[in-house]
Amino acid sequence: MAAVPTLARRIARSGVRPLCRWPLAWGRAARQPPGLPLAPCRAFSNNKILVELDESSGVAMMKFKSPPVNSLSLDFLTEFCISLEKLENDRACRGVIFASAVPRIFSSGLDITEMSGKSMEHYAEFWRAVQEMWLRLYGSNMVTIAAVNGSSPAGGCLVALSCDYRIMVENPKFSIGLNEAQLGIVAPFWFKDTFVNVVGHRIAERSLQLGSLYPAPEALKFGLVDELVPEEKLQEKAMAVMAQWLALPDHARQLTKSMMRKAVLDRLVAHREEDVQNFVSFISKESIQKSLRMYMEMLKKKKS
Ligand SMILES: CC/C=C\C/C=C\C/C=C\C=C\CC(=O)SCCNC(=O)CCNC(=O)[C@H](O)C(C)(C)COP(=O)(O)OP(=O)(O)OC[C@H]1O[C@@H](n2cnc3c(N)ncnc32)[C@H](O)[C@@H]1OP(=O)(O)O
C-alpha cells in the first residue's frame, strides 16, 4: 500500500472552494414559497464538481462539470473523493443526488488518456484513485441516487451502478452499460461484482462479454436503471425518491446496505494492491495500448 498516501496527498493539496451561502443551482429559489427566507444551504465547488447541500432536507446535489464529456480523470476522481468525504463527514447530509452539468453526457467513463502512453507509476496512481472512488461511493452511508441525464458508458455506468437508485432520462439517444470489451479491455472483478448485484449473473455475463451499451428504454427493461423520466422531471423525481428513502431510520437502512454490499467491498479491500498490479501489467501491454489508441482514433473519426 506504499503509494496510497499519494492520493491522500492529492486530496490534502486540492482546495475545495466555498461558494455563496444561497446558491441557485437546481432551482432552489424557484421551489421556495414566496415571502419565506431560503432554507439554509451550503455550497462548495472545485474545478470539476459542484455541490449544494440543502440543510433543511439533508440532501446534497453533486453535479459533474468537466466538459466536454465528464471523463473520470485523476483530477476528477480526486475532487470527487474530496467532495464525497466532505458530505459523508457532514452530519447535516443524509443523501446525495449525482447528475451532470454537461448536456447529454452523464460521464464518459474513465479518462482514456490517463491509461494511454503514460508511465507504470502513473497507471498505478490512477488505478488507486479509481478504486478509492468506488470504495467510497459503493460503501457510502448516505442514500445515493444517480440522476442519469445523459450517456453513461463504462466507468460512468459504474458510478450509477454504485448508487442505491438510478433514474435516467427517457431519451433513447442516451446509452448506458459496461462496454469495456469494445475497447479491448476487461472490466475488473469489482466492476463485474457491482454489475451482477444490480442486474444478476446471466445478464451481466452476456453484457460484459459483448461490451453492450443499452439505450435508456432497453436499460430499464432488465433493471440496469430503476425508472425513466422526461428530462424536465428528473430533478423532481430524484427528490421524491430521496424523500422516500430518507423516511426510514438511518441506522436500519445503513446496516442493511452494508450487509448487502460488504462481501463485494471486502473483496477489493483484501486484494487492492494485487488489483493495482494486475491493472498496471494489463494496461501497459503494447497490444492493449494499441487497442486504446485505435479506439481514441475511432472517436475522433466519428466526428469528421
Ligand atoms: C485482467 C484484468 C485486470 C485488470 C483490469 C484491467 C483493465 C480495466 C481497465 C479499464 C476500465 C475502464 C473503464 C472505462 O471507463 S474505459 C472508458 C470507456 N468510455 C467510453 O467508451 C466512452 C467513449 N466516448 C464516447 O462514446 C463518446 O465520447 C460519448 C458518447 C461519451 C460522447 O459523444 P460526443 O459525440 O458528445 O463527444 P465526442 O466527440 O465523442 O467526445 C468529445 C471529446 O472527448 C473525448 N473523449 C470521449 N470519451 C473520452 C474518455 N472516456 N476519455 C478521454 N477522452 C474522451 C473524445 O475523444 C473527444 O475528444 P476530441 O474533442 O476529439 O479531442
Average pLDDT, integer, range 150-171? 98
pLDDT attached to residue 207: 98
Enter the CATH code of domain 4-20+39-231+251-303. 3.90.226.10
| Dihedral pair phi/psi, residue 166, rounded to 5° | -125, 125
Query: Which pLDDT band, with edges at 50, 70 and 90, does 7 fall under?
Result: low
- Whether the ipTM is more than 0.90: the answer is yes
Catalytic status, residue 58:
no
68 lines ligand 1 (CB under 6 A): yes
279 lines ligand 1 (CB under 6 A): yes
What is this structure's pTM? Answer: 0.92
Rounded CA-CA distance 6/284 in Å is 21
| pLDDT for 24 beyond 70 | no
211 lines ligand 1 (CB under 6 A): no
Query: Which pLDDT band, with edges at 50, 70 and 90, does 16 fall under?
Result: very low
Count of CB atoms situated within 10 Å of the CB of 65: 15
Please identify, by atom number, the ligand 1 atom nearest to the C-alpha of residue 110: 15
Rounded CA-CA distance 179/2 in Å is 31
Q: How is residue 247 written as a grid cell?
A: 423516511
Q: Whose CA is nearest to atom 11 of ligand 1?
A: 187
First to last CA, the chain: 44
The structural domains of the chain, with segments of one domain joined by +, span 4-20+39-231+251-303
DSSP 112: G
Catalytic status, residue 110:
yes
Rounded CA-CA distance 128/276 in Å is 7
Average pLDDT, integer, range 3-23? 46
| pLDDT for 62 beyond 90 | yes
Average pLDDT, integer, range 193-208? 98
* CA of residue 110 to ligand 1 center, whole Å: 7
Average pLDDT, integer, range 280-294? 97
